[in-house]
Structure 1
């Protein structure tokens, strides 16, 4: 379980907050472009927080399991700090580890899916005495701090609370961490998680009870991989956070991801289809005029 934190390091160069005029009549849509990080992922502040903690404990290597974006973020953070990094990936998924390898990581492959990669990375870290940087590992409080940084940045940039914050949904880690930071700031914002239709247990289970999926239940594509999980490692926490905030969970398909990606291109933004999920959710599921005020959309995942 992610633990609440009392202080979150704010990124010294917060990501741009871009006003998308005209997207939703009667509402203000703000695009929080987390692709500005060197790794292109909103997961990089969490990776940097893990690296800082692991270094302080005397580690010189971090091992994580990933389907792509967290591994790339961790490889980037480790390279910046002079640490070694090993990323375990599903053999048949994603880019074959090219992006994490380009950032300096040692790439290992495992048969199976994301959860198998995480399990193998736990084993490898324990066997070789490396720091286990997985989102369900011993650095969960640091990961919560890192993910919470986006909320702190929004707090400084906006002043008043937005009506909603829309977040791509994979493991549910970002949603759960964002809610804890919102509570610490006493900032009432409805959280909306957006995941791949039928391919994530939070999406399938909502509004509950949470249940894991089987490997046969999920289908990965080139566009939805970061949103696909058999078991969302912080799924129950994310569901609790979303419900408590007054938000909800939304499902989108590949066509909706691609349409959102194309629309973002008009603003000069180039997230991946999965990184465009939050906007796809907002556009697809806002059937009537949204509530007046600001609706913040978190973008992540740059090719």
Structure 2
């Protein structure tokens, strides 16, 4: 593979145009690149997964997809369905995100339920069971399409970088992205460490690391304006994701709201504008850099939503 030209402050790295941005100035002595997945039309890194799910559903003859979301996957699925001319129903916990305005703007029907994300998942599965729509959730019948879509980021890095990065820093919610990234790393033969970062105290992958996986009491998690998309009392694929991260020699850590906001604000100076939750992976890297330092080599940080 030919060696690409050195990265500028911002360099497009895949067919969708989401850039790599050099933010090494944030950690003197280290090379840190941000993969700004917020540049997708939906503003969410989950858009390739949503597109893959919709394509598979259409191929199977379905014209209506339903999912549960805290925000990011809903925006991604609404956008993907709109492009494909497919109906979309998004189930959202009442009081979370923007109430579904962005999803409605993309043509989705928004169904609000009392409770948490996990309650929204249950309701979306109930709707799918009626036969009027197909389950497009991350652990539903199109889970392999979800993994395929989330793996796009690794293919993009292969095209943009002359060698494997030392580490990839990812957000953790349900664990889906970590599993997908691990699969693609194995296919490439890259010995890249995966580090997962979530909301401190508000995700079982964070609280249980390094294992065994256990769900949290639902009443123990706390949502704020900054951490909402990161909060789970049950990570749907958490056990498998923890195993995937451990297999690379990586870790799962938590970041608090202050650290989320600090990471978001630091990125603005480099032309990246995620939400605080969308900057969680950088928050984890910065915490690690302060406390123990980073391993040598290139570190890639995935931004997840704006």
- Native 8 Å contact 2:288 2:294 kept in 1: no
- Corresponding residue to 1:295 among 288, 293, 299: 299
1:26–1:290 contact (8 Å) kept in structure 2 = no
Q: Which runs of 5+ in 1 are unaligned?
A: 1-9
Deviations 1:189-235 (A, max 9, x none): 00000000100000000000100012111000011011100100110
Q: How does 1:107-122 map to 2 (within 5 A)?
A: 107-122=110-125
Paired residues of 2:30 and 2:298 also in contact (CA < 8 A): yes
SS at match of 1:26: coil
Q: Pick one of 161, 164, 167 that aligns with 1:161.
A: 164
Match for 2:29 among 26, 31, 35?
26
Give the conservation status (yes or no) of the 8 Å contact 1:26–1:289: no
1:68-113 residue CA offsets vs partner (Å, 9 max, x unmatched)? 1101100000000100000001112121111111111001011110
Q: Measure how far apart 1:151 and its partner are.
A: 0.5
Normalising by structure 2, we get a TM-score of 0.94
Does the 8 A contact of 1:44 with 1:77 survive in 2?
yes
Paired residues of 1:194 and 1:250 also in contact (CA < 8 A): yes
Within a 5 Å distance, the mapping from 1:97-116 to structure 2 comes to 97-116=100-119
Q: Distance in 2 between matches of 1:78 and 1:16?
A: 24
Match of residue 64 from structure 1: 67
TM-score (normalised: structure 1): 0.95
Contact kept, 8 Å, 1:64 with 1:121, in 2: the verdict is yes
Matched, 1:201 2:207: no
1:38 aligns with 2:41: yes
2:130 and 2:293 map into 1 onto residues whose CA distance is: 55
* Stretches of 4+ aligned residues off by more than 6 angstroms: none
Q: Partners in 2 of 1:70 and 1:106 — Cα distance?
A: 14
| Equivalence map 1:1-303=2 (5 Å) | 12-286=15-289, 287-302=291-306
Alignment RMSD, CA only? 1.1
**More relative contact order, 1 or 2 (CA 8 Å, 6+ apart):** 1
